[in-house]
Structure 1
Amino acid sequence: MSFIAGTVIKTLAELIEPSGKSIDTWSFKVSYKATPALLIVCAILVSQRQYYGEPISCDAGAARGGIDQDVLESYCWMYSTFNIPREYKGACSAGDIEYYPESIVYNSYYQWVPLYLTFMAVVFYIPRLLWLCWEGGLMKFFTRGTSTREIEDKDEKKERLVKFFSNNIKNKYNTYFFGFVFCEHLNFFIVVFQFLLTHKFLNHRFLDYGFKVWQYYLLPTEEQQMFGVINPMCNTFPRIASCTYWRWGGGGHQENINAICILGLNIVNDKVFLVIWWWYLFVALVSLIRLICRYIQCRFEYIRYHLIHARMNRYFRRSNKTKKIEEYLKTCKLGDWFVLYQLSKNLNRSFFMDFLTELSVRYDEKEILDPTDTGQLGKQIGDTLVTMLLKPSYTSVEGGEDKDQDVV
């Protein structure tokens, strides 16, 4: 079990962070890295029979003499129901919950749990795939040879990056920024969608599942017994269910045999979905807080400046051009600020400070873009989100000397 889980997590890690560069935020990683890993581990856990034995075991009582036990259990695994009368005294049974006199409610969805958990893991990874397409390798381009402690040809690389950033600065990175914000919104909507989908998957017993379990275990055992409070875990995942098995009798007539079945799988399912419920709540809150923070960042340039200042505080204290840097960070476009903030997490900090200082000085001297370069300006205006989606945004020359590169 530990070997399988370790292999899966290692594979996910290689898939999730192929470049080793930070191109998103920690809250983004919670959605596409931690959540799929948790769901895959849960899918493996509910597939391991050593923790609960056979997923279903049935007892047909006096009629079991002429029944093949394997056939009965296979049938009931697909067609067992919640319809157990309240008179049944078994603990944690479907009879503890509401009785359905007019309809048959099947609980065969339990056999789909591993596949369903895997499907949810894939859905949570969709925003990451979109962002990898839209990001286009920009951070990899900027950080090539500039993220190590010792940087060769430091001045030459700084000049190259300043020119590249300057030539693409007029709203060029707004598409980059708003693509990322779209993915952050998508993370939030996906976790809400997963809440509702799982609620439907579990016969409308998931939306408040974690809260009800928490409330139940807050009550002392005496009060639980005195007031006849039903464990919500039994409500959502009963251990005992009913099965009506139809077959042809010896006289050529159809007969039915009623069996009581123990759903051993549910001793794992109830705990797995309890963990998932609380995790979804955590992810939803983190995503919502991140969206609120992002709106604040978009609204107040003072906040944007201090986010970079906080990361580079030691270098800001040493600089004699902090006023120009502050003016530039407060007046630049949202996309330009966001790219700079991402660079502050990936570049060598001393190199990034020199790069930011040079960029701010040139901006102050109105040397950011040559107004006579109409070809470059037209190229900037023509860049769209669709273009970034359909082909890589940045290309690199592997091997040899670094060369100036343009957006394709």
Structure 2
Amino acid sequence: MYAVRYFFCEMLALVNIIGQLYLMNDFFDGEFMSYGSRVLSHTQLDQEDRGDPMIYVFPRITKCTFHKYGPSGTIQRHDSLCILPLNIFNEKSYVFIWFWFIIISTLLALLILYRLMIIFLPSVRPTIFHFYNRMLPKDTCEAICRKTTLGDWWVLFLLGSNMDPLIYREVMAELAKKIETHASNM
């Protein structure tokens, strides 16, 4: 169950990112999902044909009404244009956030597919085991993968990334021998 819980946490990370995308989209009234792609298409257009999508989501100039005391002591209204410098920063940061979410969700989706392959195709585990631990002989990898469950395989796999390769090779060779002699005694 250790490996399944580990993989489930990775799946929760993907659900979190996708949830964040939808929450941002809801916050921006449906403008966030296509925000980055519209910004990219905006940069490809000619200067005179551009309708900046960033200004639509984050306006830079707005009409402001100021109330201040006039010369006679009464409140006077002044209409003017106000520049919103924070929105200039926000439009750039949210383009970055959009790309970051898309990249992370794509990488997590590929990782989930890889994990599903590890779970449902046990025949690829020896190849993966050998690929990440080149010092182990292929037959040792196959012997260990044949006789271990997914959780045991995952712990041994993680152990290989945290041990000295020479020591790990000796430990795995000894484990493969013990597994084979135990299987032959039964």
TM-score range normalised by the length of the shorter chain: 0.7 to 0.9
CA displacement, residues 193-245 of structure 1 (integer Å, 9 cap, x when unaligned): 111222233343211100001111111224x1xxxx41111111111012345
Aligned identity (percent) is 27
Counterpart of 1:268? Answer: 89
Counterpart of 1:341? Answer: 157
In the alignment, the residues of structure 2 paired with residue 190 and residue 283 of structure 1 have an alpha-carbon distance, to the nearest angstrom, of 11
User: Which amino acid in structure 2 is aligned with residue 359 of structure 1?
Assistant: L
**Could you tell me how far 1:256 is from its partner in structure 2?**
5.1
**Could you tell me how far 1:302 is from its partner in structure 2?**
2.0
Counterpart of 2:148? Answer: 332
* Gap change, CA 1:244 and 1:196, over 3 Å in 2: farther
Aligned residue pairs total 182
**Could you tell me how far 1:361 is from its partner in structure 2?**
1.6
1:285 aligns with 2:106: yes
Q: Please, which runs of 5 or more residues in structure 1 have no aligned partner? A: 1-173, 317-321, 368-408
User: Which amino acid in structure 2 is aligned with residue 342 of structure 1?
Assistant: L
Does the 8 A contact of 1:184 with 1:287 survive in 2?
yes
Q: Which has the higher helix share?
A: 2
**TM superposition score normalised by structure 2:** 0.86
Does the 8 A contact of 1:237 with 1:266 survive in 2?
yes
Counterpart of 1:131? Answer: none
Does the 8 A contact of 2:135 with 2:169 survive in 1?
no
Does the 8 A contact of 1:304 with 1:329 survive in 2?
yes
Aligned partner (choices 178, 184, 189) of residue 15 of structure 2: 189
Does the 8 A contact of 2:135 with 2:166 survive in 1?
no
* Gap change, CA 1:283 and 1:324, over 3 Å in 2: closer
Counterpart of 1:362? Answer: 178
Does the 8 A contact of 1:237 with 1:269 survive in 2?
yes
Task: State the SS of the aligned residue for 2:182.
Answer: coil
Task: State the SS of the aligned residue for 2:82.
Answer: strand
**Could you tell me how far 1:342 is from its partner in structure 2?**
0.7
1:352 aligns with 2:173: no
Does the 8 A contact of 1:238 with 1:263 survive in 2?
yes
Q: Please, which runs of 5 or more residues in structure 2 have no aligned partner? A: none
Task: State the SS of the aligned residue for 1:307.
Answer: helix
* Gap change, CA 1:235 and 1:315, over 3 Å in 2: same
Q: How does 1:128-277 map to 2 (within 5 A)?
A: 174=1, 176-222=2-48, 224=49, 229-245=50-66, 257-277=78-98
Counterpart of 1:310? Answer: 131
CA displacement, residues 326-358 of structure 1 (integer Å, 9 cap, x when unaligned): 132134111111111111111011111111111
In the alignment, the residues of structure 2 paired with residue 219 and residue 297 of structure 1 have an alpha-carbon distance, to the nearest angstrom, of 45
Q: Which has the higher strand share?
A: 2
In the alignment, the residues of structure 2 paired with residue 241 and residue 281 of structure 1 have an alpha-carbon distance, to the nearest angstrom, of 31
Please give the root-mean-square deviation of Cα atoms over the aligned residues, in Å: 2.4
* Gap change, CA 1:265 and 1:251, over 3 Å in 2: closer
User: Which amino acid in structure 2 is aligned with residue 191 of structure 1?
Assistant: I
**Could you tell me how far 1:290 is from its partner in structure 2?**
0.4
Aligned partner (choices 275, 295, 300) of residue 121 of structure 2: 300
User: Which amino acid in structure 2 is aligned with residue 283 of structure 1?
Assistant: I
In the alignment, the residues of structure 2 paired with residue 246 and residue 192 of structure 1 have an alpha-carbon distance, to the nearest angstrom, of 45
**Could you tell me how far 1:248 is from its partner in structure 2?**
8.6
Q: Greater relative contact order (Cα 8 A, min sep 6): structure 1 or 2?
A: 1
CA displacement, residues 46-82 of structure 1 (integer Å, 9 cap, x when unaligned): xxxxxxxxxxxxxxxxxxxxxxxxxxxxxxxxxxxxx
